[in-house]
Chains A and B, each alone.
Chain A
Amino acid sequence: MAAGNRPVSPHIQIYRFMWTMALSISHRITGVFLTLGAIFLVYWLVSVASGPAAHATAQALVASLPGRLLLFAWTLAFFYHFFNGIRHLFWDAGMGLELGAARLSGYLAVVAALVATGVTWVAAFGITGGAA
């Protein structure tokens, strides 16, 4: 058979939608999105190293509405990737692989991410009442 004409595995449209699928692809999406957050972290650190003027520019970005929205999205993405990552580590240890357990831990990861994001932002805002 020609190299370009081999049978491929079924495309994803063929499968019935399951929440565990959405959670699985979300792990990758949040991972890539968090890499963008890491780029911003490096920019922020370089601004601190570059002096007060550069740092003020970075702080203004953080305090702007798009900056705040991005930070919130990064917080949520981080906690989802964090809890779902722990779920993956348990799977790697051979635990929680049964369908029911995998479904339950998926829900738990989502709920934990939402709660942790809420707690983080309440804590951050509680300190200064929202001033950057």
Chain B
Amino acid sequence: MSLRTPLKQAKGLGSAKDGVHHWLIQRLTALALIPLTIWFLVSLIGLVGADYHAIQQWLSMPLVTVLMVLFLSVLFYHSELGVQVVIEDYVPAKGARLAALILSRFIHIFLAVSGIIAVLSVAFGA
């Protein structure tokens, strides 16, 4: 027995070919960002006036390292999904739109990896 409605079976995943995946992940990342951003902001307030050594020590605490890696991953995933929709809505020319979408994805992945590697290299004392 399939839980899919007859309409869904007839029409497949729609023109974007990924069904509700984009919509769902945008909301899931938003939900995850509620505690992560508040944690990050409270931490930043606590770090006001901290010197280099104190910031290094803070980033090296295991829980902080884990939360920062999660925060950066979810943040840039959420940002990529949002910027993607903005490009799709406001760049009408097909070629320019495709180029902008690809560029946006590359930049987002580059930023996420850069941030995560920076956090890890501080955490592991490289």
A binding-site residues for B, Cβ under 8 Å: 28, 31-32, 34-35, 38-39, 41-42, 45-46, 48-49, 52, 55-56, 78, 82, 85-86, 88-89, 92, 120, 123-125, 127-128, 131-132
Q: Which 5 A-B pairs have the closest CB atoms?
A: A128-B49, A49-B118, A45-B118, A42-B115, A46-B118
Determine if B114 and A46 form an interchain contact, defined as CB atoms under 8 angstroms apart: yes
Give the complex CA separation of A56 and B68 in angstroms: 21
Interface membership of B45, Cβ < 8 A: yes
Given the contacts A42-B115, A49-B121, A55-B52, A85 and B30 also touching, CB distance less than 8 Å:
yes
Stretch at the interface among B1-9, B11-19, B76-84, B95-103: B76-84
Main SS at interface, chain B: helix
Q: In the complex, given contacts A42-B118, A124-B45, what are 5 additional A-B residue pairs having Cβ atoms less than 8 angstroms apart? A: A35-B79, A46-B114, A48-B59, A55-B55, A120-B41
Determine if A89 and B37 form an interchain contact, defined as CB atoms under 8 angstroms apart: no
Interface membership of B66, Cβ < 8 A: no
Give the complex CA separation of A121 and B52 in angstroms: 22
Interface membership of B34, Cβ < 8 A: yes
B86 contacts across to A, CB distance below 8 A: 28, 31-32
Given the contacts A85-B30, A86-B34, A123 and B55 also touching, CB distance less than 8 Å:
no
Chain B interface extent, by class: 20 to 34
What are 7 A-B interface contacts by the 8 Å CB criterion? A28-B82, A38-B111, A42-B72, A45-B119, A46-B114, A56-B52, A127-B48
Number of inter-chain CB pairs below 8 Å: 77
- Chain B residue at smallest Cβ distance from A86: B34
B75 contacts across to A, CB distance below 8 A: 38
Given the contacts A45-B115, A49-B122, A55-B55, A82 and B34 also touching, CB distance less than 8 Å:
yes
The minimal Cβ–Cβ distance linking A25 to chain B, given in whole angstroms, is 11
The minimal Cβ–Cβ distance linking B95 to chain A, given in whole angstroms, is 15
Give the complex CA separation of A49 and B124 in angstroms: 10
Give the complex CA separation of A89 and B83 in angstroms: 18
The minimal Cβ–Cβ distance linking B74 to chain A, given in whole angstroms, is 11
A31 contacts across to B, CB distance below 8 A: 79, 82-83, 86
